[in-house]
């Protein structure tokens, strides 16, 4: 070996050692499992994976947390409902190509990815990506990823909603409590009846809050989502493969996460390094009007109506029960005003501004109709109670048509933002407002001086 060759060899060795020393391991393989105490760190050092115990608990869970955030913030948990009670846990990739969690020397499986379709002689591995996604590979293709199985947190790039091909609806669910990451009561999920909407549920039956339908620039119930938001608000996809929403930070050095809390709120939080704490960006439900169906069918909620009752009836409707209204219980909602003759000649619409449109479960959507055609469609159908534009993303064009064919529930108004909503009323109802307008007009022209 020449002097030169030896030089090259030595520098290669130094490079290799240096590389080994500096590069953290981000991969689990057949021969390299993760034992309790080991930590995987993603390539860009953004996320870490290992065993942890929540505060006030001695149970051991496999989780993923931010590597660069000083307050340990767990964003994903594998064995949510099956903790290990001592430090003998091992997470490994097995011969069937699955991630499995068990105790040293024991066969009981605490948690597994449980994917089938193994190709013999494939090389299996799992890698923690810098996005915080733990991905299981069969050779070159991925067979499972943690992003498809959210815990209580939605990270940038994670999709919420339906993968049509896999039949997988990704739902974010709260922890049971701050010391128990088990699947809790609250879930944030997409539903596809009528037009796609996002809901916060308690249990499987009770809707707590409706983030609403996609308006083309955000969710109808989150009016703060504007163009200069901290993340790209145009990432809603509805095609043959999927109906999903995800967020991507415009400035990737800002840590932002959405979390469904065990107290039943959906919070968006941002890490402030200077104060070393998570700061609330927004949180829902935030007022009475956020409570799902707070003012009942055909009612609407106005949180800015100071002092008096926040519930009101849509134009053309009156309280179902005046007594309930008197004690400020709006839950039974409103009914058509007594004596109204709907679907006669001369029906029309009253415009409401800055509205979160009603629950679209009872609505129909046609994206190829404009607003004028939408009005005509609604007028032609006696069961149509109201309409609105389905896409308000472009200021110059109100595109798409939503028509409501049943109860209109969970409508509310904002001080700003929202959209215009058109409520069907009978001719007489329009008559009164026209008469009023004409009177005002006449008075202004006559220039009375009292």
Binding residues (CB under 6 A) for ligand NAG: these are: 55-56, 85-86, 88, 103, 106, 109, 112, 114, 178-179, 204-205, 232, 234-235, 250-251, 253-254, 366, 368-369
Query: What is the smallest separation between the CB atom of 249 and ligand NAG, expressed in angstroms?
Result: 9
Q: Which residue, 311 or 378, is less far from ligand NAG as judged by CB? A: 378
CA distance 372 to 387: 10
Q: Which residue, 247 or 298, is less far from ligand NAG as judged by CB? A: 247
Contact 268, 230 (CB under 8 A): no
- The set of residues, in sequence order, having a beta carbon less than 8 Å from that of 434 and lying 6+ positions away, is none
Cα 448 to Cα 63, 232, 434, 439, 441: the distances in Å are: 75, 54, 21, 13, 12
Q: Which residue, 31 or 107, is less far from ligand NAG as judged by CB? A: 107
CA distance 19 to 73: 28
Contact 100, 92 (CB under 8 A): yes
Query: What is the smallest separation between the CB atom of 427 and ligand NAG, expressed in angstroms?
Result: 26
Query: What is the smallest separation between the CB atom of 112 and ligand NAG, expressed in angstroms?
Result: 5
Q: Which residue, 341 or 366, is less far from ligand NAG as judged by CB? A: 366
Query: What is the smallest separation between the CB atom of 172 and ligand NAG, expressed in angstroms?
Result: 16
Query: What is the smallest separation between the CB atom of 448 and ligand NAG, expressed in angstroms?
Result: 49
Q: Which residue, 230 or 428, is less far from ligand NAG as judged by CB? A: 230
Query: What is the smallest separation between the CB atom of 205 and ligand NAG, expressed in angstroms?
Result: 6
Compute and round to an integer the Cα radius of gyration of the chain: 28
Query: What is the smallest separation between the CB atom of 193 and ligand NAG, expressed in angstroms?
Result: 16
Question: Which pair of structure tokens corresponds to residue 105?
Answer: 């020397």
Q: Which residue, 237 or 437, is less far from ligand NAG as judged by CB? A: 237
Q: Which residue, 269 or 295, is less far from ligand NAG as judged by CB? A: 269
Q: Which residue, 165 or 380, is less far from ligand NAG as judged by CB? A: 380
Query: What is the smallest separation between the CB atom of 183 and ligand NAG, expressed in angstroms?
Result: 9
Query: What is the smallest separation between the CB atom of 88 and ligand NAG, expressed in angstroms?
Result: 4
Q: Which residue, 184 or 315, is less far from ligand NAG as judged by CB? A: 184
Question: Which pair of structure tokens corresponds to residue 178?
Answer: 């701050």
In this structure, the number of other CB atoms found within 10 A of the CB of residue 8 comes to 11
For residue 137, the cross-strand partners are 125, 142
């Amino acid at each position: 070996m020449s002097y030169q060759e030896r030089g090259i060899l030595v520098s290669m060795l130094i490079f290799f050692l240096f590389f080994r020393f500096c590069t953290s391991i981000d991969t689990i393989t057949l021969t390299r499992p993760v034992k309790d105490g080991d930590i995987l760190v993603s390539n860009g050092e953004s996320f870490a994976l290992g065993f942890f115990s929540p505060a006030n608990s001695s149970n051991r869970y496999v989780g993923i947390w931010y590597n660069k955030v000083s307050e340990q913030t767990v964003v994903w948990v594998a064995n949510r409902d099956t903790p290990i009670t001592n430090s003998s846990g091992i997470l490994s990739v097995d011969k069937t190509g699955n991630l499995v969690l068990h105790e040293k020397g024991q066969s009981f499986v605490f948690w597994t990815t449980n994917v089938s379709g193994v190709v013999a002689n494939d090389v299996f591995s799992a890698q923690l990506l810098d996005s915080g996604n733990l991905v299981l590979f069969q050779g070159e293709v991925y067979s499972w990823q943690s992003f498809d199985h959210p815990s209580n947190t939605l990270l940038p790039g994670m999709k919420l909603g339906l993968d049509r091909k896999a039949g997988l609806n990704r739902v974010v669910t709260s922890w049971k409590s701050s010391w128990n990451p088990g699947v809790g009561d609250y879930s944030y999920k997409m539903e596809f009846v009528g037009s796609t909407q996002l809901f916060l549920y308690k249990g499987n039956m009770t809707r707590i809050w409706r983030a609403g339908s996609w308006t083309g620039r955000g969710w109808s119930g989150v009016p703060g989502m504007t163009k200069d938001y901290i993340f790209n608000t145009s990432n809603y996809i509805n095609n043959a493969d999927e109906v999903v929403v995800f967020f991507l930070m415009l400035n990737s050095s800002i840590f932002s996460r959405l979390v469904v809390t065990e107290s039943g709120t959906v919070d968006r939080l941002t890490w402030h390094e200077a104060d070393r704490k998570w700061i609330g960006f927004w949180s829902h439900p935030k007022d009475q009007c956020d409570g799902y169906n707070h003012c009942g069918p055909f009612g609407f909620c106005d949180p800015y109506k100071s002092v008096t009752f926040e519930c009101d009836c849509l134009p053309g409707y009156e309280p179902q029960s005046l007594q309930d209204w008197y004690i400020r219980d709006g839950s039974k909602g409103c009914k058509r005003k007594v004596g109204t003759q709907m679907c006669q000649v001369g029906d029309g619409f009253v415009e409401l501004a800055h509205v979160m449109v009603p629950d679209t479960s009872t609505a129909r959507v046609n994206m190829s109709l404009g607003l004028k055609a939408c009005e005509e469609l609604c007028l032609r159908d006696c069961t149509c109670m109201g309409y609105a534009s389905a896409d308000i993303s472009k200021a110059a064009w109100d595109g798409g048509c939503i028509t409501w064919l049943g109860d209109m529930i969970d409508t509310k108004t904002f001080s700003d933002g929202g959209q215009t909503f058109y409520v069907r009323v009978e001719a007489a109802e329009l008559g009164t407002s026209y008469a009023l307008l004409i009177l005002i007009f006449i008075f202004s022209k006559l220039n009375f001086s009292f």
